[in-house]
Amino acid sequence: MKKSFCLRIGPRYKVKCSNIVASDSNVISWSNIIRYLGVNIVAGHKFTCSLDNCQRSFYRAFNAIFGKVGRIASKDVIIELLKAKCLPALYYGLESCPVNKSQIRSLEYVLNNTFRKIATKSFDVATECVLYFGCAVQETLWKRKSKFLMKIMYKTTSNLLYHVAQKFASDELAELQKLMQ
């Protein structure tokens, strides 16, 4: 199985490039999507991540749990299992990725469908359940991204890196705050 690929990000990401030959004569080919530390990075004009794998992992985990205990356990137990075992799969690596409005809506849709399967068929009631049980996407994303960026800022020893991280953190949090409005 090949582990190394090249990916272009920027205005010329669609331009055809020659394959790169490594020192051991293996060819490193170009790809439109790569997986790095469990996060799928997509070629494009700017740095973006794909959430498809996270959503699949979430559904796989939830269906495994719901298939085993869905008819036996109470709704509270199922929701606690969802929060402990399934939500980490859905939110994995999102703190390091820029997330746009459509991706947030996509994550909200996944959670609403799940709560509709657990508790009710009503979309509005499922939305309220997501909020009531503390599973709101925007809130969770805000907390995770804030914690991640603060760790970067305060764990760095270089004065220059601290200021770069501080600028990055304020820009990222401002962008996320705009998305939440």
pLDDT tens digits along 72-92? 888 889 989 999 999 999 999
Distance CA(37)–CA(94), nearest Å, equals 12
Domain count, the chain: 1
Alpha carbons 27 and 55: distance in angstroms, whole number: 32
- Whether residue 82 lies inside any domain: the answer is yes
In this structure, is residue 42 part of a structural domain?
Answer: no
- In terms of phi and psi (left: phi > 0; alpha: psi -120 to 50; beta: otherwise), the region of 156 is beta
**Does residue 120 sit within a domain?**
yes
Q: What is the separation of C-alpha 71 from the centre of its chain, rounded to a whole number of angstroms? A: 30
Q: Do 87 and 135 touch, CB atoms closer than 8 A?
A: yes
- 173 pLDDT band, cuts 50/70/90, is low
pLDDT of residue 147: 83
Domain that holds residue 116: 74-181
Question: For residue range 25-48, what is the model confidence (pLDDT) as tens digits?
Answer: 788 888 888 888 888 888 888 888
- Beta 33-36 vs 48-50: how paired, if at all? unpaired
> What's residue 1's pLDDT?
41
Residue 111 lies in a domain: yes
Identify the CA nearest to 19 among candidates 9, 5, 34, 29: 29
pTM for this model (two decimals): 0.76
Residue 157 within any structural domain of the chain: yes
The confidence score (pLDDT) of residue 31 equals 83
In this structure, is residue 45 part of a structural domain?
A: no
pLDDT of 167 higher than 70: no
